[in-house]
């Protein structure tokens, strides 16, 4: 589901995750709604997987819509690296 190099974006609430998903899907971004990985924690329970090659565009779209994630993590060998 989450490959090495992919990003996992975590948001404050389900509402914000759903708004972000709708925005990004309408822009044909390479994203996927996923459960928050066990290594990470979130009250929301859902996150958005962002393909590494679409990172800059997706983050710009989210920033423009004022839907920036609360946490951003990059999948590494054996775990996640926090980017936020």
Residue corresponding to tokens 């928050």 = 36
Task: Report the pLDDT value the prediction gives residue 39, as an integer from 0 to 100.
Answer: 86
Give the tens place of pLDDT for each residue, 58-69.
999 999 999 999
| pTM for this model (two decimals) | 0.90
- Who has greater pLDDT, 6 or 39? 6
Q: What is the second-level CATH architecture of the domain 7-76?
A: 2-Layer Sandwich (3.30)
* The pLDDT value given to residue 32: 96
Q: Identify the pLDDT of residue 35.
A: 93
- The 10s digit of each residue's pLDDT in 24-50 is 999 999 999 999 988 887 677 899 999
> What does the domain layout of the chain look like in residue ranges?
7-76
């Amino acid at each position: 589901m989450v490959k090495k190099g992919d990003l996992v974006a975590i948001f404050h609430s389900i509402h914000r995750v759903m708004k972000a998903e709708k925005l990004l899907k309408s822009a044909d971004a390479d994203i996927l709604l996923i459960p928050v990985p066990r290594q990470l924690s979130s009250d929301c329970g859902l996150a958005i997987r962002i393909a590494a090659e679409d990172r800059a565009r997706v983050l710009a779209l989210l920033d423009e819509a004022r839907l920036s994630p609360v946490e951003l993590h990059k999948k590494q060998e054996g775990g996640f690296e926090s980017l936020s």
